[in-house]
Amino acid sequence: MRVYVPLTLPRLAEAHKAGELGPGPLVAYAVTPALREWYVSDDIEELEYAALNRAALASLRLVAGDPWAARRRVVLAADVPDGAAVADPDRGLDEGALGEVRLASALPLAKAAAVHVDSVEAEGDVAAAAAALGAADLGDADAGFLVDGAEGHELLWFATQEIPGLL
C-alpha cells in the first residue's frame, strides 16, 4: 500500500539522519474506502493524487506550526505492507480525516519511494497559506483563498537519493 507522510524539511532532515521516520504512531494518507467514496473515482492514479494532496495540506499545517521550517510542503511517499496503515473507524465520515491513516511503528526510509516538495518559487504562497490557516478553518473566505494559493502549486518529485540535495 502506498502511503503519503506529511513532513517539513527539518523533519525530513531528522528522518534522513536517523534512517527512519518515527517513532510511531505516524499520521499518513492513503487511498481509503472513505477517500474513494468522497472522490468518486475508480482511477487509482487520481485517488493517489488526492491522497497526496491531503498529505500536502497536513504538511502545510506542520509548516504553520514550526516557525523555523522552510515554507515548503514536504510529503514522503512510501510503500508499506497492507494492514500496516489503518484508518480510524470513528473518523471515517469526518471530511477533515479523509484518507488519513496511522502507521503503528517507525517507517524506515528504505521503504520510501519518493519525496514530493514545493519549489522555492512556492515559498511565498506557502508562507501566506500557513499564516492564514487558522482563519480559513473558521470559514474566512479570503484566508481560504490564500490556502488555495498554496494548493495551486504542484509538488515536485524527487528520488530518495536526492534527499541530501534537498536538505
Average pLDDT rounded to a whole number, residues 18-33:
92
Contact yes or no for 77/55 (Cβ under 8 A): no
Distance CA 139, CA 33 (A): 27
pLDDT over 70 at 44, yes or no: yes
pLDDT of residue 24: 82
Q: How many residues are present in the chain?
A: 167
Model's pTM, two decimal places?
0.93
Q: How many CB atoms lie within 10 A of CB 58?
A: 22
Comparing CA positions, the residue from 155, 162, 145 lying closest to residue 63 is 155
Q: How confident is the model at residue 75 (pLDDT cuts 50, 70, 90)?
A: very high
Q: Which cell numbers in the block locate residue 54?
A: 491531503
